[in-house]
Structure 1
Amino acid sequence: MKNISLLLILILGCTAYSQYAPEFEEYKAKYGDANKVIMNKEVVLNLDIKDNDLEITQENIEENLFMTDGANMAAREDLNFSYFFELLDIEAYSTVYNNDKPDEFKVDNFVEKDNMDNSFYDDSKSLVFLYPNLKKGAKSYIKYSERIKNPRFLGAFFLGDIFPIDHAKYSIVADKDITLSFREFNTEGIDIQYKKEEKWGKVIYTWEVKSVDKYKIEDNGPDFRSFLPHILPVITSYNSGGAQVNLSGSVNDLYDWYYSLVKDINNQAPDANLVKVVEGLTKNKASEIEKVKAIYYWTQDNIKYIAYEYALGGFIPREANLVFDRKYGDCKDNSSILKEMLEIAGIEGNLTWIGTRSISYKYDEVPTPLVDNHMILSYRDNNGEVYFLDGTGRYNPLEIPSSFIQGKEALIENGKGEYILEEVPVIPASRNVIRDTTILKIEGSELKGSSHARITGYGKIDYAFHLEEMDTESKIQEFYNYRFEKGNNKFLIDSLEEFNRTDYEKPLEVRYTFGIKDYIKDFGDEIYLNLNLNREVTSFKIDKPRKTAVEYEFTKTYDFKNTLKIPEAYGIEYLPENFKVSNDFFSAEINYSLQGKSLIYEFKAVLDFIILTPDQQSEFNSLLEDLEKAFKEVIILKKINN
């Protein structure tokens, strides 16, 4: 018994020592179920003038505490760099605790990795490494510095993260001859300690925060920069040899820099074969806009999108002759050849810089290259209407811009010192229509149908894009079985014909026949049938409350008409009431009518939005719940007694 008691004392004594960092229990109480806590994040941005030029370095420190057993899953770290961002000194290690004693495990294996995919190649790379021996209660530490080679590319400092931040500090140490402005985004409600002081000919700006809770990145949400709090510094000007150099103080400064990079492209004579292509495309075209369409559609069909960028090559389009010879290029290259081809045809096109919807900034907010990530071409017709031509797209009609630039500002070149800002329109739901007209008949327990589908706008582009990968009839039929599904999962297309799939101007049309087995409920004298065969609109319902907006690719209209041939020996016993709901951005209605021995069912829903705020989500869900109830309504056919 004495031996057992002694053993228990030894065990209890050992367990009094912690396997976790000293801060673990404090952070557990403070931040709850967080997987990781950013204990400390510090960045010092140094801005100096040397030899009449700017020299920029940045020092970064981050220390994290891992709170759960999955710590080893977060062991990987990637540090990004490129021609414009040079990594310098790096120190990284893990700290693991045993009996309250810290053991440090230094990172000594760094692997350089290219960042590329099948259609995008540039000089961006990652330095990849693993923190060794990470586990619950352990810490990671990293310290590194970097040289920023272009002063227009200063990045943001984020005061919020998907993990809690216990302490963060951002400092800028700038030469007194450097003029800065600061953009603050989403900082409402954040207790920021800001300080500005001058020491030894330097101006020091400091932002500091403590105890910032974690943010949630939600699926199908907007750009994280639209809700995460952050500070974005901008160098507006600096003094070089007694002269002021304007850098990024306004949209004018950004445009002047952009224009200096593109003003000399396509100065050589166009390739003779390219001239022949343009002449062939525009021959017999009666109007200028018809010529533009012919050239634009040829580019989409014949110039493959493959981005290959290095250094300023990420901002300077390649020569049209080279793009024509290669038959591939990035967004700037496609814009370059489009511009040249239009010029050969005697038509003016203008290079256009734009940010996709993945960037939430506007040009006057952030007049630096961070505001955009894409180049297209603009064409203005004789009536002043602007068309936005994206040569990297597929099946985009002239009148419909790429979906991912809807609602965005476009910076259009207009000669030296002159530019135009235009907003790309959001294409209304009335132009993105899925219309399906169906004749139905009952054969035993099976519902048989013959349909004619007509798809326009972004819906047609989406279908054509996906069908491009389908190389057999069975794959095509499988695709349409999924997209056109009606009633239940026993829906099966028997035959189909496609029309205009690759025609830029005409809607996609599909004629098909189908059957839905075991769909009819026959109770002797009565037949029960639900004519709400397509309920895809209810898939837009938001499952749980959100803090951020929901973003959709494009607006949409569903328009379905089902005509049921009532069996000869039956009449209508019960017909559901017509139904209608609507608000400013959504409407849906169901109408039933009888024409002789045919029962007409009509459903139309208009989703005229691409973003829903949390308040709109709640309102939308409420309308969809009412619609779901209406979708459950069935018609009852009753046998007629002669």
Structure 2
Amino acid sequence: MNVFLKTLVFGLTIYANNISRVNAPGKDENVVIKNKVEKYQFTFGDKNAPVVVNQEDMVTYQCNDFRTSIGYAEFYDAQSAITSIKARVNGKKFGVKPVHQAYSVDGFFYSDAKVCLFELPLNEKGSESSVELSKVIYDPRYLTSIYFSEGYFTKVKQIVLVIPSWMHVDIKEMNFDKGKITKSVQRDSKNDSKIITYTAKNVKARTSEAYAPGPSYIYPHLLICSQFAETKDGKVNYFNSTDDQYAWYRSLVKMMKSGDPSVAEAAKKITAGANSPTEKAKKVLNWVQDNIRYIAFEDGIAGFKPDNAHDVLSKKYGDCKGMANLTKELLSASGLDARLCWIGTNHIAYDYSIPSLAVDNHMICAVKIDGKFHFLDGTESYIGFDQYAERIQGRQVMIEDGDHYILEHIPLRTLEQNQVIEKRQLAIKGNDIVGTVNLEYTGEAMESLLTGIHSTEKQDTEKSLTEFLSESDKKCEIKQLKTSDLKDWNQDLTINYDVKHQDAVTQFDKEMYLEIDFRKEFKNLIIDTTKRETDFIFNFKRILIHETSLELPPGYQVQNTPAPVNIDRDQYSFVSVYKSSGNQLIYTKCIKIKDTHLPISAMKQWNADLKQLTDQYNNQVTLVKK
């Protein structure tokens, strides 16, 4: 399956045929972590880094069965450094040869993070290999989340925090109800410190399930909020409040260069012909979406400082921060009130009530028109103005306001934003079913389709679209394909074509057997509840509507149709029914994903309901000669 079809199948309608495959993450039970200790100690640094955090990791891996090896990886960035690595195999020193490289995805830098990699052997059953790693974090702000779970089953995991009396830290214990964790606190009077030790035993390996909530929702962890330090040179403020967090973000924004003539010149060209602030905003958003390539390259101060707008404009690519800054600068040059915004997507469980770098992972832009903020996310390539992706809907957003900030929420959108409406007029011709099809896509449903279309070469656009519409069925022939403007995603996308389904009718004597639902959305999307460990998160709410009218052959009438389906739950609904009307067989189907969050407790009901829908899919229509 090509990349385009993968995008559509999994991103648009999730026409999955084997969900059990993604519900059973691979687990290497041959390897376990016998013991791991992570120690974090706050100490005085120097003039440039008044307080640093010294991290010491000690981990022992154990082989349960057959000889193997593991890949060890540790991340660091501009605000941290690995100072030493030691390894042992069965108690003997092992000379590691770590490889240090930039962390990248698909050939692009993912952030300014680097990764230290090396291979560690486990020579036989019962053998043990261990690693001792030292790391320094130059700014306590960057010590955020510490998780108890690892990539392997862990027999004992300890997290030790050594906090001197001059360092003020708020430790938030997150999801502790999902694990058995003990805590002890000791006083080190000699060093005037508090030693906090958390111990977890028999910790399950972290899973890698598709469509799972973000880890901050499901795994026990500590959220470390460094507030301030009392040093010999005075108080050093970190994030004692949300005001402090914004002030720090603001200081990074002030480092950028703005007002470059190239941006003003581009803005003038982009907004030419726009007669209102809204039209200007639409033109700017569309231009950024269409001309700036989004790559997750988070350059700067450990990924928090946006790139200059004129640099993004020149390079024609940027990460979310760079694209947000360019959008703001283009809007500002067009005379609009534009602001940078920080936001955490729905992958993150926190909001700005917690002052921490862990609360946000994204940056967008806001424009104020007639006293109302509209939010623009240039990384969403094909979604219209005032339409919002599921990942940011309802999320708290921090909007810059000079030396102050505004906290608002991204507007929620109903499932009606994301619709697929398909209408078919069909007839039987020999053993084939032929007719016309009219399709309409809106919102994120449209974005998923357009993302796939525009990911292909221009000369392959029609071919790829045809493959999607036919679902790569060689017996489905599509001709006279016409679409609305694929470059205008502020309007609904329409697709019209003629279709022929070859050999779709089986005839025996005076009877015909056929099916007229050629989509069968969600067929076999059965969730294996014996293996699934996390809730299921659909990528967006949606409505899928199908209306098919089949003209009956002369002298034939409907003898049998699949039983109707009428299911309505809090998270979803399936309604599908056949009825006769004169010489027409009318088939209507409406599938709604009303809530993207399907909890484990609802999965058995989902499976039962989906089986009922799938049973209808699997039954044929019978026509009989009068």
TM-score normalised by L of structure 2: 0.88
Q: Distance in 1 between matches of 2:122 and 2:67?
A: 12
Out of 124, 130, 145, the residue aligned to residue 119 of structure 2 is 130
In 1: Cα distance, 2:137 partner to 2:94 partner: 27
Contact between 1:215 and 1:228, CA under 8 Å: does it hold in 2?
Answer: no
Q: CA deviation at 1:313?
A: 6.9
Q: CA deviation at 1:165?
A: 2.1
Preserved contact between residue 181 and residue 201 of structure 2 (Cα < 8 Å) = no
Residues 383, 533 of structure 1: alpha-carbon distance in 2 compared, 3 angstrom cutoff: farther
In the alignment, what sits opposite 2:344? 355
Other-structure match for 1:8: none
How far residue 506 of structure 1 moved from its aligned partner, in angstroms, is: 1.6
User: What residue identity is the alignment partner of 1:208?
Assistant: Y
Percent identical pairs in the alignment equals 25
Q: In structure 2, how many angstroms separate the alpha carbons of the residues matched to 1:203 and 1:261?
A: 33
- What is aligned with 1:44? 39
Separation in 2, partners of 1:522, 1:115:
60
Q: Distance in 2 between matches of 1:450 and 1:473?
A: 24
- Higher mean Cα deviation, 430-439 or 164-173? 164-173
Task: Choose the corresponding residue for 1:469, options 455, 477, 481.
Answer: 455
Out of 489, 496, 502, the residue aligned to residue 504 of structure 1 is 489
Secondary structure (helix, strand or coil) at the match of 1:621 reads: helix
Is 2:172 the counterpart of 1:187? no
Q: In the alignment, does 2:282 pair up with 1:293?
A: yes
Count of paired positions: 594
Q: Write the deviation string for residues 171-215 of structure 1: whole angstroms up to 9, x where unpaired.
A: 222221111110111111414132232321332232232532414
CA displacement 1:499-546 (0-9 Å, x = unmatched): 222212122222122222222121211212233332113354323342
**2:320 pairs with 1:331:** yes
Distance 1:128 1:579, change over 3 A: closer
In 2, distance between residues paired with 1:629 and 1:489?
25
Query: Structure 1 residues 135 and 156, CA, compared in 2 at 3 Å: closer, same or farther?
Result: farther
SS of the equivalent of 1:200 reads coil
Q: Please give the alpha-carbon distance, in whole angstroms, between the structure 2 residues aligned to 1:308 and 1:633.
A: 50
Q: Which residue of 1 aligns with 2:400?
A: 413
Alignment equivalent of 1:393, drawn from 380, 383, 388: 380
Conserved? CA contact 2:263–2:309, under 8 Å: no
User: 1:94 — aligned with what?
Assistant: 89
Structure showing greater radius of gyration is 1
Whichever residue aligns with residue 415 of structure 1, its letter is G
In structure 2, the gaps of 5 or more residues are 1-26
- Determine which of 575, 579, 600 is the counterpart of 1:614: 600
In structure 2, do the counterparts of structure 1 residues 576 and 38 end up closer, same or farther at CA, with 3 Å as the change threshold? Answer: closer
Q: Within the alignment, does 1:204 sit opposite 2:199 as a pair?
A: no
Asked if 1:239 corresponds to 2:230, the answer is: yes
Query: Which is further off, 146-155 or 183-192?
Result: 183-192
Distance 1:405 1:493, change over 3 A: same
- Aligned residue for 1:548? 534
Query: CA–CA distance in 2 between the matches of 1:88 and 1:637?
Result: 77
- Larger relative contact order (Cα-Cα within 8 Å, sequence gap ≥ 6): 2
| Aligned counterpart in structure 2 of residue 68 of structure 1, from 58, 65, 70 | 65
The Cα offsets for residues 419-440 of structure 1, whole Å up to 9 and x where unpaired, read as 2222334532211111111111
- Name the CA distance, whole Å, in 2 between partners of 1:357 and 1:532: 34
What is the letter of the counterpart of residue 372 of structure 1?
Answer: D
Single out whichever of 294-303 and 42-51 deviates more from structure 2.
42-51
1:582 touches 1:623 (CA, 8 Å); kept in 2? no
* Cross-structure match for 1:223: 214
Match of 2:559 in 1: 573
Instruction: Please report how far the alpha carbon of residue 408 of structure 1 lies from its aligned counterpart in structure 2 after TM superposition.
Output: 2.8
C-alpha contact 1:412 1:422 (8 A) present in aligned 2:
yes
1-side partners of 2:122 and 2:152: how far apart? Answer: 21
User: Contact between 2:147 and 2:220, CA under 8 Å: does it hold in 1?
Assistant: yes
Does the 8 A contact of 1:481 with 1:493 survive in 2? no
- Output the amino acid matched with 1:297: N
Q: Contact conserved, 1:119 with 1:305, CA < 8 A, in 2?
A: no
Partner of 1:174: 163
Q: Which residue is 2:75 aligned to?
A: 80
Mean Cα deviation higher: 497-506 or 344-353: 497-506
| Equivalence map 1:251-400=2 (5 Å) | 251-263=242-254, 265-267=256-258, 269-271=259-261, 273-306=262-295, 308-312=297-301, 314-365=303-354, 367-382=355-370, 384=372, 386-400=373-387
**Could you report, residue by residue, the CA deviation over 1:582-630 in whole angstroms, capped at 9, with x for unpaired residues?**
0122112123333332222111111122221111223322222222233
Are the structure 2 counterparts of residues 265 and 112 from structure 1 closer, same or farther at C-alpha, using a change threshold of 3 Å?
closer
Q: In the superposition, relative to structure 1, how do residues 228 and 70 fare at CA in structure 2: closer, same or farther (>3 Å)?
A: farther
Give deviations 1:249-308, integer Å, cap 9, x for gaps. 2222211111121135344x431x533432333344232111110111112222233455
Structure 1 position 143 matched with structure 2 position 132: yes
Equivalent residue, structure 2, for 1:156: 145
Change (3 A) 1:124 1:134: farther
Distance in 2 between the 1:307 and 1:623 partners?
39
Instruction: Give a deviation string over 1:104-140, Cα, whole Å, max 9, x none.
Output: 3512322222212334364322222122463332211
* Greater Cα shift, 499-508 or 198-207: 198-207
Which stretches in structure 1 are left out of the alignment for 5+ residues? 1-31, 96-101
- The amino acid of 1:148's aligned partner reads I
AA matched with 1:399: D
- Provide closer, same or farther for how the CA distance between residues 213 and 261 of structure 1 changes in structure 2, counting only shifts above 3 A: closer
**SS of the residue 1:300 aligns to:** helix
* 1:574–1:129 distance in 2 versus 1, CA, 3 Å: closer
CA distance in 2, matches of 1:311, 1:336: 14
Task: Report the 3-state secondary structure (helix = DSSP H, G, I; strand = E; otherwise coil) of the residue aligned with 1:298.
Answer: helix
Give the whole-Å Cα distance in 2 for the aligned partners of 1:499 and 1:450.
Answer: 16
Equivalence for 1:562? 548
